[in-house]
Structure 1
């Protein structure tokens, strides 16, 4: 079986409401979808959601890399040879993990369909039966965030990821407001997205948060400040999670060596897809570090890929792949049984893509053929 054609779609996914984090605000989510077709007629879908601040890639650059470099190099390759696919991509261009993730995910979708098994059966088999869904609260006023949290609790949600990362004490006020509104039994995870910059500022916030029973504090310092994470971790009992500071094997080695975090947030867009994500999970498992599969606000395609990784590993203790719940229109049909997610047993990713919606949301498109 060989890759015969790759269609590349640059799309904007419409959000129900703006998604606000420490470094940006989104009214729509830019995404690149690829449709990979083999000479046997099997079709697989992949997705790339780049982020200038996280993966170092823009929407436009990712499209160009796929069109001119990665997609042409994949024509004639066997999509089931994951190691060779990644080696070929890595020899062509350094980094660009979100671009590579699109190719990786499409290959796994094809492999599952060819072998008539879900992707999770290709990477260890299913371990978890279901995961609770964590609702993400965008940055807003304390009252707005507390009101939204209360509404979601009424819908059945039992955990929240709070986006903060502005002025530290204003962020503390937001967290306090949500905790007071939802009570002591609801899990709150705090994601700073590097917004507190350094250890000194973070420790100021940490002291105010230690009485609020926070599940964990995620990436409070700049991504490359691993030593800052070490300092914060040594001075608080609140568990620390690394997100933007972990891309691939190089960072994972340093995190393990310095014991810089209690948890790591593995994202397919940061590491290059399903295959490298499993390598990171195995490294973390050997070091006794819990893992989460996180979200870059992907469509059903990218979100399903992340769920397959999460469902296949015991060391995965949480997921935050809620992109499809944020869109007013999605290209796929990933099903959420709020407040839980349970994967189906369909071959491949288990997602049916509506090509009419894909065309509707498409801003521009190219086809790469053999």
Structure 2
């Protein structure tokens, strides 16, 4: 089996409502879909959702890298040879993890389809039967976030992730309001997206929030400040998760050596796809650090890829892949049984891509052939 064609689509996924985090607000979610075809007629889909602030890639730049740098070098290669695929991509360009993730995911999808097995069977088999889904609250006023939290709990959600990171005092009010609205039995996870900047601001907030019983606090400081995470971890009982501060093996080694986090958030877009994500999970497992699989608000394609990784590993104890629930229209049919996610036994990613919807959302596209 050889790759004969790679088609690249730049699309915009429509959101039910704007998605607001500490450093950006999105009215639609820009995404790049890869359609990979092999010489035996099999088709696999992948996705890249780059983020200037996290992966260091722009939407336009990622499309160009896929079109001009990566895709032409992969024509004729066997998509099952993942080590070689990544070696070739790494030889062509340093970094560019979201672009590489799109190719990686498409390869796994097409190989699973060719063998007639789900992607999780390519990763060691399914360990988890289901995961609870966490609802993500965009940044808003304390009253708005509290009302949304209350409504989602009424729908059956048992855990909430709050996006904060605009200002410390305002964030404290938001968190207190949400805790008051949902009671003590609901898990609240707070994601600062680097917005509290340093350990001083973070410790100030945590000292005020002791009564709020946070499940964990995610990435309060700048991504590269691993030492600040170490200081915070030594001075609080609130579990800490690293997200933007973990991209690949280099950061994971430092996190493990310094015991800088209680949990890490592995995202396919940050590390380069399914294959490197599994390597990070193995590293964390050896160090006894629990993992979460998160997302950059991806369509059914990217979200399904993350789920296959999560379902295959015992050390992965939570997921946060709710992109498809945020879209008013998607290109795929990943199905949630809110407040749970369970994967089907369909070959590959288990997602049927609606080509009509894909083309309707496409701003521009290119085809690379041998």
- When normalised by structure 1's length, the TM-score is 1.00
Q: C-alpha distance in 2, partners of 1:256/1:233?
A: 13
* Paired residue secondary structure (1:67): helix
Q: What is the aligned partner in structure 2 of residue 253 from structure 1?
A: 253
Deviations 1:8-66 (A, max 9, x none): 00000000000000000000000000100000000000000000000000000000000
Matches within 5 A, 1:68-83: 68-83=68-83
Q: C-alpha distance in 1, partners of 2:95/2:158?
A: 37
Q: What is the aligned partner in structure 2 of residue 187 from structure 1?
A: 187
Q: Does 1:23 align with 2:17?
A: no
Matches within 5 A, 1:1-370: 1-370=1-370
1:166 deviates by: 1.0
* Paired residue secondary structure (1:283): helix
Q: C-alpha distance in 1, partners of 2:155/2:334?
A: 19
1:298 deviates by: 0.2
1:124 deviates by: 1.2
Q: C-alpha distance in 1, partners of 2:365/2:110?
A: 21
Runs of 4+ in 1 over 4 A off after TM superposition: none
* Paired residue secondary structure (2:317): strand
Q: C-alpha distance in 1, partners of 2:295/2:159?
A: 16
Q: C-alpha distance in 1, partners of 2:221/2:308?
A: 30
1:295 deviates by: 1.3
Q: Which runs of 5+ in 2 are unaligned?
A: none
1:202 deviates by: 0.5
* Paired residue secondary structure (1:189): strand
Q: C-alpha distance in 1, partners of 2:103/2:167?
A: 39
Q: C-alpha distance in 2, partners of 1:7/1:150?
A: 43
What value does the CA root-mean-square deviation take over the aligned residues? 0.4
1:355 deviates by: 0.3
Q: C-alpha distance in 1, partners of 2:124/2:263?
A: 21
Q: Which runs of 5+ in 1 are unaligned?
A: none
* Paired residue secondary structure (1:211): helix
Q: C-alpha distance in 1, partners of 2:132/2:32?
A: 28
Q: C-alpha distance in 2, partners of 1:209/1:84?
A: 48
